[in-house]
A and B are shown apart, each in its own frame.
Chain A
Amino acid sequence: SQQGEEDPQALSIQEGENATMNCSYKTSINNLQWYRQNSGRGLVHLILIRSNEREKHSGRLRVTLDTSKKSSSLLITASRAADTASYFCATDSSGSARQLTFGSGTQLTVLP
């Protein structure tokens, strides 16, 4: 079964707006990661947040982690058409140090 579930499944916004995607997971983690996938391509790592961190920034990306609620959010500020992609959260369960389990993904469309 999938560790992570994301919502919304699809999100459509105008260029310049902010996009927020949420991820929930079920078991304890060491860290949570966000990946991006352009259509028909491989995944690209965006950001990693460890279980003892609450917030992390990277450029226009802001990730939060609430381990008490087993949830994370990814915020993309000032979105661009080039941000159109699928975004996946991925968790490592603390019992398996070498594997990630991916969420179902959010398809983001940024309209020019």
Chain B
Amino acid sequence: DAMVIQNPRYQVTQFGKPVTLSCSQTLNHNVMYWYQQKSSQAPKLLFHYYDKDFNNEADTPDNFQSRRPNTSFCFLDIRSPGLGDAAMYLCATSRALTGGQETQYFGPGTRLLVL
């Protein structure tokens, strides 16, 4: 089945130690997104790729970066995780169509714990 896969499901890292979260998709969608979601809050968009075109949200900290080496894979790099970066990180994909945003397909998320 076509899907969005995130690995690992749970990630534990130490304060200040770089960490990378992975996302892959078999939907062949040209847009990929990374969201941060803290407990009982709405998902917050960090950035998205439209094909290879990177789009950063204005309030995304510099500590967060992303790579998309090909259509199928996208990575979220946190250079120096702080305690406040502990959250669920959600990857999503969509097709870019004219006339408005279409459905986004989400992975199961990676829960990051910072010790």
Contact = CB atoms under 8 A, between A and B. Distances in A.
Interface residues of A, number: 30
Interface stretch (A59-67, A76-84, A91-99): A91-99
Nearest to B106: A42
Most B C-beta atoms less than 10 A away, residue of A42, A51, A88, A90: A42
Interface in B69-115: 88, 90, 92, 94, 96-109, 111
A48 B101 CA distance: 10
Nearest to B101: A92
12 contacts: A33-B103, A42-B107, A43-B106, A51-B100, A98-B31, A98-B101, A99-B45, A101-B45, A105-B40, A105-B41, A105-B42, A107-B40
Contact of A31 (B50, B92, B100, B107): B100
A53 to B, nearest CB: 12
Contacts of A94: 100
Given A97-B96, A98-B101, A99-B101, A40 B43 contact: no
A101 to B, nearest CB: 8
A31 B42 contact: no
A89 B24 CA distance: 25
Question: What range describes how many residues of B lie at the interface?
Answer: 20 to 34
A104 B101 CA distance: 19
A51 B96 CA distance: 18
Contacts of B6: 42
Given A31-B101, A94-B100, A104-B42, 9 more contacts: A30-B100, A42-B4, A45-B104, A50-B100, A96-B101, A97-B99, A98-B50, A98-B94, A98-B101
Interface in B22-66: 31, 40-43, 45, 48, 50, 55
A25 to B, nearest CB: 13
A41 B109 CA distance: 6
Given A43-B43, A104-B41, A104-B42, A97 B101 contact: yes
